[in-house]
A and B are shown apart, each in its own frame.
Chain A
Amino acid sequence: MTKTVVDGVLRAVKKVRGGVKVDHHKNTAHKKVERLPIPSKVVIPMQQHIGAPCEPVVKVGDVVAVGQLIGDTDKYISAPIHASVSGTVVAVGDVKMPNGTMSKAVTIESDGEMRLWEGIKPPVVETREDLIKAVRDSGLVGLGGAGFPTHVKLNFPADKNIDTLIINAAECEPFITVDYRECVENSKNILAGVYLLKKMLGFKQVIICIEDNKPDAFGVLKDIADHEQDVYDEVKLMVLESKYPQGAEKMMVQSATGRKVPPGKLPADVGCVVMNVASVAFIARYVRTGKPLISRSITVDGSAIKKPNNIRVPIGTNIGEIIDFCGGFSKEPCKILTGGPMMGLAIVGTDLPILKQNNAILAFAKDDAVLKDETDCIRCGRCAIACPMSLMPTNIVRAAKAKDVDMLNHAGITVCMECGSCAFACPAGKPLVQHMRLAKAILREEGKK
């Protein structure tokens, strides 16, 4: 891919420190998103977001239709769950989640008809409150991977002086190409979403950020930025250096505005809201059709996958079924991930459901799955150079070993976002992210005493 940049785009206001150069492996960039055939069964967990789990509102034997509400809660930080196929509820109970925890789930046996629920109708969105209610009803969570309920993110107090909406199309994780495909295939929805959010929430500027390894998306995003609706030229495209973790929220805020989010604070505290590009497109689609979040695009790739592809799958589809659709395994799989290779989760098997926030399934053969042996730390400092948050991982490891809470706090462990740059850069093969998580756990434990 060339690195030419179209005219009239912004470059980073303030470049991100550290980070690592990771091979992109965007093998599926040219693959149009295909639809998975209707699965015979879906398992839809009630916990698919950061926050409180939903309670099932259907029972075994109920006949449900596509888009019908099956789980909800009155807790604020949460997002409702909808049926992704039409059919009969055959089970309501605990299932194992990809991360090893248990969650309540609704299992629906598909009737193969994908009959839409009659209650689906486009929401009326005239005010800011309408929009936030609509976003909540849609069940939307951040589609970039974290799964934070979007309505919470958008429902900032009106007096908070939020002036900037940052659209994250960086997709800095290797292998994953669904956001890129969203830009290329669904630019109309992105366009509508950008101007809807800008109008309803009163952003003074919108900055669409993308990495410079996706030149084919520059044009369509530039068209959005240059659209006639943008009367005062407040929507801009920014092309960022391809570097991991360019797409991390705090990094994105710094690149786009030069502002730094303080430790323990959110982008909203410095006047910014960061949204994944697919989430923005989804909001526009929901406002137009009223169809809630019942399917999503994922990249299926890795050295053990026979036919890497981008696929649109109903939420709750069995991961094994998705891999089978991609031709199954070409080699014996040794490690399977949901999400990207830098922050994704290694799963114990394929008999697990796909969740709202999953953006990829990656399966690796032995050569790519077994990490190098751990050797002694040589104090080379590559971890500290790589850390985008200016932390010193070696100090944190030492403090964690000594269970020294003061030193952990002083070293800023809570700022760590577990991006994995340190562990990637470590020539001694230290599992530094594991150490960081341990350090956080120690801080929580000791804090209780």
Chain B
Amino acid sequence: MVNGKKLVVSASPHLRTKTTTTKIMLDVIIALIPALVASVIFFGPKTLLVTAVTVATAVLSEYIARKVMKRHNTIGDLSAVVTGLILALNLPVNVPLWIAAIGSVVAIIVVKQFFGGIGQNFANPAITARIVLLLSFATHMSGSEWVAPLSWLGKADAVTTATPLALYGKEGAVIPTLFDMFIGNRAGSLGETCTVALLIGGIYLIARKVISFKIPVAYLGSFALIMLIAGFVKEDSVGAALEYTAYQLMSGGLMLGAFFMATDYSTSPINTDGKYIFGVGCGIITALIRLFGSLPEGVSFAILIMNLLVPHIEKITTPKPFGTPKKEKKAKEADAK
């Protein structure tokens, strides 16, 4: 008591970082803006409509789910906005809006809230929702429904085309140049095409220390290495192999996945070693699906599979407490066995 007023008594420390969950999520939203702007340029204003639907449905789903489960409201942390945004960037522009809305409901209610909400889900909501939509509405989600970039500017009806990944290597197919791939002038999901915008967003997140460079670098690095070898085997020249690798890196949802989805806190390992293992695992699976699978794209499945392995990865990569002697380490490992 001082001057008759009670003092606050709490456990140390008495200082806290100014970072909050909301600020972190806001940073992710900021990092996604370049990709969103690029997709508006290439796929037209309908992009914004799809995004508005997924974001609004995600936030509403979160609100209702929390209300029904009698838990405190969490829409203020903006994580539902991030999920909605990332889901939108994973959808083609001509996706029916009701399908987009179903995606958000699956992501928030089934994948996130059924397992306890933020920080508790074991699979990435946006990725799982994308896979659910892909399997449920295959014709709307892939195949021949892709809209050619910039066609919204033309007078004709939307021109459909295939994605570069589906075209690559097919005889007579006209594929975009590497420069087009870099700036995003290609068919694909809304937010996955513009490599430069995704790189800017990714670097922003790393610079702001929202994510660590480890998962994206391990993911892209291991993927590039496999593709380089595969390209060399296919083309038998270093130059062509390099071009092939660059093409592969900028195709599909790899950049979006590596920077924005594989780095999801809830569904990736906390430890440094775990992050590298996780990233390399994603890289290998993506490469294998692209090289040998029947699907043209493997980012979503790669990340989902690695999501499921996170508890095991963490178990083997948890660092020993400071100063644990080497001998004891071995003894403990033997104990664990």
Contacts and interface: CB of A to CB of B under 8 A. Distances in A.
B16 A371 contact: yes
B10 to A, nearest CB: 6
Given A250-B322, A334-B8, A420 B270 contact: no
A443 to B, nearest CB: 14
Contacts of A431: 10-11
Contact of A390 (B11, B21, B321): B321
Contact of A427 (B12, B23, B321, B332): B23
B12 A265 contact: no
B117 A376 contact: yes
A6 interface: no
B8 A369 contact: yes
A379 B11 contact: no
Contacts of A103: none
A320 B3 CA distance: 11
A274 to B, nearest CB: 15
Given A262-B325, A376-B119, A390-B319, A346 B21 contact: no
A418 interface: yes
B322 A389 contact: yes
A392 B314 CA distance: 11
Interface string A353-395: 0000000000010000111100111111110100011111011
Interface string B316-337: 0011111111001000100000
B2 A412 contact: no
B266 A420 contact: no
Contacts of B15: 22-23, 174, 341-342, 424
B9 A433 contact: no
Interface in B1-51: 1-3, 5, 7-17, 19-21, 23-24
A202 interface: no
Interface string A416-435: 00101001111111010110
Given A262-B325, A263-B321, A415-B322, A342 B14 contact: yes
Q: Which range holds the interface residue count of chain B? A: 35 or more
A425 B332 CA distance: 30
Interface string A15-38: 001001011000000000000000
Most chain B Cβ neighbours within 10 Å, of A17, A174, A380, A410: A380
B323 A420 contact: no
Contact of B17 (A381, A384, A425): A425
Nearest to A264: B323
Interface in A395-409: 395
A429 B22 CA distance: 12
A437 interface: yes
Most chain A Cβ neighbours within 10 Å, of B8, B119, B318: B8
Contact of B2 (A263, A333, A337, A377): A333
A350 B270 CA distance: 43
A424 B16 contact: yes
B14 A346 contact: yes
A388 B45 CA distance: 50
Contacts of B3: 332
18 contacts: A20-B17, A22-B15, A250-B323, A261-B322, A334-B7, A334-B8, A350-B2, A371-B10, A375-B74, A376-B21, A376-B74, A378-B24, A378-B77, A378-B265, A388-B322, A389-B321, A391-B322, A392-B319
Interface of A: 17, 20, 22-23, 174, 250, 260-263, 265, 320, 329, 332-337, 341-350, 364, 369-372, 375-382, 384, 388-392, 394-395, 410-412, 415, 418, 420, 423-429, 431, 433-434, 437
